[in-house]
Amino acid sequence: MSVRVKIDARKTLKSLNGIAKQQFPFAYAASLTEVAKLAQIAVRQQTKDRFKLHGDYIPRGIMVQAAKKKDVRSGFAHSAVFTSDGITSFMAWHETGGTKKPAGRALTIPGEGLEKYRYKTARGAVATRWKPKVLLQDYAGSHAAKPKGGGKGGKGKPFIEPARGSEPAKIVRRVSRKAYPLEVLYIFRPQARIKARWGFEDRVRTVVDQMFVRVFERKWTQVIAEAR
């Protein structure tokens, strides 16, 4: 996933001469790169805030491609803010939204019970101990026994509560020796609607619109002064 900041500099280059023509590619490439880095900082912070991230794995996956002077000289140049392969596969869903379908029989959607815990790693992945397969490793196809004694947190072993009417099947566990209430860890869904809530592209474009002209003016003044 990538947003490019690009220009057609052919007309500008034709109108320049002397020192200005020599220095223009440097100033423009430096400006494109600096604005991309400013956009990167803004998107990284927005990502941490919107997704309440504790670690930096996902923000670090938001990267920058620098502009090159030689591309400005040829008439075209661009910088880019893009996502690494490591995060594109799942973060793209949060940028575009859409209906996600399972590779297998159903999607496992974290339930309210799971959301109470820090069940994700710094990389944003589900920690091994909280994965459905691990939670159900001792499940034999029947309801789990009620907690005994002072077990860890007083929780029962996770089990599958079958679908009932419009209620989907769930991975649950008992929170006391009583049958209810149940702590819902995962909900089985045939598909999931993911909202477009990242705002990656919009944030990059906003930073470019707000910052490019002032960054270029500063760079241009600087390179001309240093060249004289």
pLDDT at 142: 56
Q: Within 13 Å of residue 98, how many CA atoms lie on the same side as its CB? A: 9
Residue 196: per-residue pLDDT: 95
pTM for the predicted model, two decimal places: 0.74
CA dihedral 17, 18, 19, 23 (to 10 degrees): 50
Q: What is the chain's percent helix, strand, coil content, to nearest 5?
A: 45, 20, 35
| Inter-CA distances, 223 with 15, 87, 125, 205, 226, Å | 18, 37, 46, 26, 5
Structure tokens of 141?
């196809």
Prior bond of 25 cis (ω within 30°): no
Predicted confidence at residue 184, as pLDDT, reads: 94
For 199, list phi and psi in degrees, rounded to 5.
Answer: 75, 25
Residues 190/193/194/197 CA torsion (nearest 10 deg): -170
Q: What does the pLDDT read at residue 66?
A: 95
pLDDT of residue 149: 44
pLDDT tens by residue, the chain, 228 residues:
788 877 666 677 677 778 887 888 889 999 999 999 999 999 999 999 999 888 889 999 999 999 998 888 777 788 999 999 989 988 999 999 999 988 888 999 999 989 888 888 877 788 999 999 999 988 876 555 444 444 444 578 899 999 989 899 999 998 888 888 899 999 999 999 999 999 999 999 999 999 999 999 999 899 888 876
Per-residue pLDDT, 195: 93
Burial of 113 (0-12, 13-18, 19+ CB in 10 A): buried
Which pLDDT value is given to residue 151?
Answer: 42
The answer to whether the beta carbons of residues 79 and 32 sit under 8 Å apart is yes
At residue 138, the pLDDT reads: 80
Residue 186: per-residue pLDDT: 95
